[in-house]
Amino acid sequence: MTNILGELFVEFVAALVRGGVYALWLKALTWLSTRIRGRTAAIVAAVLMAALLFFLMPLVTGLIL
């Protein structure tokens, strides 16, 4: 029973960390999008940021937990 509760707690904390990192990332990208001029530059920046988020999110979550 304790093992099950421990696993649930770890998953709960991981979900909170992922949500927090995602919220910070979204805030940073919203700020950045107002600074970028030009459609092509905005698309390139969005693709690069999405790729970074895709690869860094598991890394950050793994380091914290």
| Single-letter amino acid, residue 7 | E
How confident is residue 65, by pLDDT bands cut at 50, 70 and 90?
A: low
Nearest to 24 by CA among 47, 49, 51: 49
- So where are the chain's domains? 2-64
- What confidence tens digit (pLDDT) does each residue in 1-56 have? 778 888 888 889 888 888 888 888 889 888 888 888 888 888 888 888 888 878 87
For the whole model, what pTM was predicted? 0.60
Under a CB-based contact definition with an 8 Å cutoff, are residues 17 and 65 in contact? yes
Under a CB-based contact definition with an 8 Å cutoff, are residues 16 and 65 in contact? no
